[in-house]
Amino acid sequence: QSALTQPASVSGSRGQSITISCTGTSSDVGGYNYVSWYQQHPGKAPKLMIYEVSNRPSGVSNRFSGSKSGNTASLTISGLQAEDEADYYCNSYTSSSTYVFGTGTQVTVL
Amino acid sequence: QVQLVQSGAEEKKPGASVKVSCKASGYTFTSYAMHWVRQAPGQRLEWMGWINAGNGNTKYSEKFQDRVTIIRDTSASTAYMELSSLTTEDTAVYYCARNWVGSSWYDYWGQGTLVTVSS
């Protein structure tokens, strides 16, 4: 199972919006609404930000939103803040009953 | 409160095996699954496999199928991941992550266990 494809890096100024893409195939992202997103700060464990494509867990800022079109899922961060600077990973369930992570995206706040 | 506490750092020689534990508290252990995810230095997250803590069923990534074993001890509310035939490329932080059976996301993670493989 190949990793889902994400851009290596995305940057934006404080207050701006950015979008991170996560491209898979019809056997993973495109086949199920089982895409989740994780934020990881250096040296820390990942934190769940979005589940089932567009649902936000309790306690996660509403500046984070998710969507999906075909084989590509997206995470949008609006009103970018300094604390949003981190690595972000998508994850999808697959047709093999396994899971796969994305290649990861480093977000920089300018 | 939900907690997943992992065992401490390990140093192993190439060819050896390592067993990492993940002790759960604050919830009904058998109502959830436990996944294992690893991250090599500076690299991406990599899904390894999972166990249904209720019935013991497992599923492994094809990449690790021949070398990984995930088990659980319900009396101790602990999941274990054993990786055999270690090489230097297995040097990584290994995480356990909780997943409600029937859902597709990981809501709580362990603190991570660094496994270093070096001759």
Per-residue tens of pLDDT for chain A, all 110 residues: 799 999 999 999 999 999 999 999 999 999 999 999 999 999 999 999 999 999 999 999 999 999 999 999 999 999 999 999 999 999 999 999 999 999 999 999 99
CB atoms within 10 A of CB B31: 11
Would the CB atoms of B106 and A97 count as touching at under 8 Å?
no
For position B117, what pLDDT does the model report?
98
Distance (Å, whole) CA A108 – CA B8: 32
Residue A7: partners with Cβ closer than 8 Å, 6 or more residues away: A20, A21, A105
By C-alpha distance, the chain A residue nearest B111 is: A45
Closest Cα in chain A, distance from residue B36 (Å): 11
Q: Strand pairing of B68-73 and A64-69? A: unpaired
For position B102, what pLDDT does the model report?
82
Distance (Å, whole) CA A98 – CA A92: 9
Is any Cβ of chain B less than 8 angstroms from the Cβ of A27? no
Is any Cβ of chain B less than 8 angstroms from the Cβ of A89? yes
Would the CB atoms of B45 and A89 count as touching at under 8 Å?
yes
Distance (Å, whole) CA A30 – CA A33: 8
By C-alpha distance, the chain A residue nearest B96 is: A45
Q: Which residues of chain B have pLDDT under 70?
A: none
Q: Considering only CB atoms, which chain B residues are within 8 Å of A34?
A: 104
CA separation, residue A57 to residues A49, A66, B81 (Å): 7, 12, 28
For position A1, what pLDDT does the model report?
76
